Structure 1
């Protein structure tokens, strides 16, 4: 699948393939900040999610969610404006040849991914199949690497970030990173595996020209590592007692495993 365009709401979105076509990935919504913040608070206060994460506040308040949603709306605004224009131009000029308002893959190269909110569709339009009602069940984030393999606060990490951030959109040398979380009610169903696959193949490769991709997981988070391994990531080095953990999560430091993408798998 490719980017789809909800003609009623003007929202672009990605849809997961079978058997999870009822799951979509959307941008943050300016008109749904209250709903988003409530859902985030519910998910991120669950220890099954919170203790697998490092940087999100814990406990997580509704105001934390509001700030996060507003910041994402602002960050995604320019990307979405350009993407909507592209999609609408295709519709208006009747370049679309297939049902579903799918976008071309030869448009603008983007310096980021506006699709971050994983949602379960509860109701769809009978004629178009576009979602009418959905709920937030998780988050997936594609961003320039934070280089967690270097010590926190070190000049080595800061320099790697500066050099990476200076590269122009579409540069094959940019190192990107993926991070995600999912509501425990939806764990163990293969949803996150397909969400990662969708982000990589429907957006990162064709629209960002991504060639280098990493992720990190706590050493005891086998579920997360399996998700990435199913998407052609290889386990790299394990950094023992590396990542600082907040006192609210127990304090101390946890070991992390570096996951590195081996490249597109067309099988």
Structure 2
């Protein structure tokens, strides 16, 4: 109930539409990342000139989306719990949910999506969730900080990362704050909850908090 999506209840049809899309994006990013690693390893110890190194390093990962699962680490739990799925985090080009004018939101998305991979002006967006029993353990701040440091900056050239949260979801806001995001604004009544997420009641609206991280 803290998420604008996915649909609830989540049906087999929802899965059949969403999983192929996110799975393809994940495989594509993994392939791009491996290609960069292979190129840099080939250059180590070679006689390649500096311009060649710079050229290869300008290959950027991800045209649109970078999805990750969050799992138990082997060795921390018993064998039947090791590698258990406990959450997910996705980096994607901005959806601009915080722009309430639909025409302006559509225009911003089109401009943002037209930028080439690696362009420092791309507005990226982060969303995540964690199985409730794992809340309060510092997992999500560690995951997000790790992604920013080791993937988003060096392999995607991310300079601006946006995030939103429902106004009552203060734990999510704290995660962003711990990772260096700044609070920008609170948009009252920005999101209308579907009845299935509001005990069958229609028309309930919630405010949307907006946060931003920028590369120093």
Q: In 2, are the aligned partners of 1:172 and 1:210 still within 8 Å (CA)? A: yes
Deviation per residue, 1:83-131 (Å, 9 max, x gap): 234445666x5959xxxxxxxx94621135545111112359xxxxxxx
Partner Cα distance (2:109, 2:186) in 1: 21
Alpha-carbon distance change, 65 to 185 in structure 1, aligned in 2, over 3 angstroms: farther
Alignment pair present for 1:244 and 2:192: yes
Deviation at 1:199, TM superposition (A): 1.3
1:7 alignment counterpart: none
The answer to whether 1:255 aligns with 2:207 is: yes
Equivalent residue, structure 1, for 2:4: 54
Does the 8 Å CA contact 2:87/2:128 hold for their aligned counterparts? yes
Q: In 1, Cα distance between the equivalents of 2:117 and 2:29? A: 12
**Among 69, 87, 94, which residue is 2:19 paired with?**
69
The alignment partner of 1:118 has SS state of: strand
Q: Compared with structure 1, are the counterparts of its residues 53 and 78 closer, same or farther at alpha carbon in structure 2 (3 Å cutoff)?
A: same
State whether residues 26 and 68 of structure 2, in contact with CA within 8 Å, keep that contact through their aligned partners in structure 1: no
Distance of 2:29 and 2:18 partners within structure 1:
18
Corresponding residue of 1:83: 33
Separation (CA, whole Å) in 2 of partners of 1:147 and 1:114: 17
Residues 1-267 of structure 1: matches in 2 within 5 Å?
Answer: 51-61=1-11, 64-65=14-15, 67-88=17-38, 95=44, 106=57, 108-111=59-62, 112=64, 114-123=66-75, 133-151=82-100, 154-250=102-198, 251=202, 252-264=204-216
3-state DSSP of counterpart to 2:212: strand
* 5+ long unaligned stretches in structure 1: 1-50, 97-104, 125-132
| C-alpha deviation, 1:232, in angstroms | 0.8
TM-score (norm. length: structure 2): 0.81
SS of equivalent to 1:121: coil
> Residue 123 of structure 1 contacts residue 134 of structure 1 at CA under 8 Å; is this kept in 2?
no
Distance 1:172 1:231 in 2: 20
Number of matched pairs: 196
CA distance in 1, matches of 2:115, 2:40: 30
SS in structure 2 opposite 1:238? strand
Listed as ranges, the gaps of 5+ residues in structure 2 are 46-55, 77-81
Cα RMSD over matched residues? 2.5
Rounded to whole Å, the distance in 2 between the matches of 1:94 and 1:165 is: 32
When residues 95 and 134 of structure 1 are mapped into structure 2, their CA distance, relative to the original with a 3 A threshold, is farther
**TM superposition outliers: structure 1 runs of 4+ over 3 Å:** 61-67, 85-91, 93-96, 112-115
CA distance in 2, matches of 1:146, 1:55: 13
Structure with more helix by fraction = 2
